[in-house]
Amino acid sequence: MSNHLIEVKNVYKIYNPGENEVRALDGISVTIDHGEFVAIVGHSGSGKSTFMNMLGCLDTPTSGDYYLDGVNVAGMTDDELSDIRNKQIGFIFQGFNLIPSLTAQENVELPLVYRGMPAEQRRQLAEEALTRVGMEHRMNHRPSELSGGQQQRVAIARAIAARPPIIMADEPTGNLDTRSGEEVMKILHELNEEGRTIVLITHDNDIARQATRAIRIIDGKVVSDTLASELQKHDV
């Protein structure tokens, strides 16, 4: 058994097997350790989201092994995967994915409701998380009453409320103006400094360069794995 947080071994994800098959992941092997801040970078269609969905236990590979904290999750059932996600992983998406009819606080509490957490504890964790991202003054606002940057901060609060050790973010700055994007990156940095492992998906080299390590994917294959600072400015 390894002591890597994440160990992906020769993973394939093949859509539409047969003539029109798409090898979205084409033999990927990668390890990520506790406390890393890794960017997965590549062009549109290169397989980034497919890879994150697999790393995040939202989907399983067609073949290959995926050890998360030493446990092979590649062959797990949906229920088992959802259990692992609940305990280990917080997600942030490009489109925020907040529920329009719920307030910021209710959105942050929702995953805690699913975990069966008592109301008082939920309220406390949600308040803490919203304060952590500077949204304590907007807890009773609905998403339509918030700016894009504020909505993404609420989504980050939702991702961190249960204190998962891993944060996965798929283009978290993609719908934001430069300044709001910088705020989101700053929060991700702070979360990493507090010891969380961050996996950041982006097509943008300038964003990827702000991670510590950058894994570049082309056509479902890892083509480079370097210090993020070694990424060129405009070659993606």
Ligand X SMILES: Nc1ncnc2c1ncn2[C@@H]1O[C@H](COP(=O)(O)OP(=O)(O)OP(=O)(O)O)[C@@H](O)[C@H]1O
Contact residues for ligand X, defined by CB under 6 A: 15-16, 22, 24, 42, 44-50, 203
Taking residue 86's Cβ as centre, other Cβ atoms within 10 Å add up to 16
Give dist(CA 126, CA 208) in Å, integer. 29
Q: How far is the CB of 201 from Mg ion (least distance, A)?
A: 7
Q: How far is the CB of 229 from ligand X (least distance, A)?
A: 23
Which is closer to Mg ion, CB of 50 or CB of 103? 50
Count how many residues are written for the chain.
Answer: 236
| Residue whose C-alpha is closest to residue 67's, from 29, 39, 35, 36 | 29
Which is closer to Mg ion, CB of 38 or CB of 129? 38
Pick what 47 binds: Mg ion, ligand X, none; C-beta below 5 to 8 Å, kind-dependent. ligand X
Which is closer to ligand X, CB of 53 or CB of 105? 53
Q: How far is the CB of 134 from ligand X (least distance, A)?
A: 28
**Contact call for residue 49 and Mg ion (CB under 5 A):** yes
Q: How far is the CB of 86 from Mg ion (least distance, A)?
A: 23
User: Do 72 and 4 contact (CB within 8 A), yes or no?
Assistant: no
Q: How far is the CB of 220 from Mg ion (least distance, A)?
A: 13
| Residue whose C-alpha is closest to residue 6's, from 55, 52, 51, 40 | 55
Options 15-23, 48-56, 122-130, 158-166: segment touching Mg ion (CB under 5 A): 48-56
Name the amino acid, one letter, at 218. Answer: I
The full DSSP string for 116-137 is T--HHHHHHHHHHHHHHTT-GG
**Contact call for residue 150 and Mg ion (CB under 5 A):** no
Pick what 197 binds: Mg ion, ligand X, none; C-beta below 5 to 8 Å, kind-dependent. none
Which is closer to ligand X, CB of 161 or CB of 231? 231
Residue 14: both structure tokens together: 């093949």
Give dist(CA 104, CA 139) in Å, integer. 5
| Residue whose C-alpha is closest to residue 88's, from 170, 197, 7 | 197
Options 42-50, 102-110, 118-126, 211-219: segment touching Mg ion (CB under 5 A): 42-50
Name the amino acid, one letter, at 172. Answer: P
Q: How far is the CB of 22 from ligand X (least distance, A)?
A: 5
Residue 165: both structure tokens together: 């050790």
Tokens 């940057």 belong to 149
Which is closer to Mg ion, CB of 40 or CB of 74? 40
Which is closer to ligand X, CB of 16 or CB of 144? 16
Site residues (vs Mg ion, CB under 5 A): 49
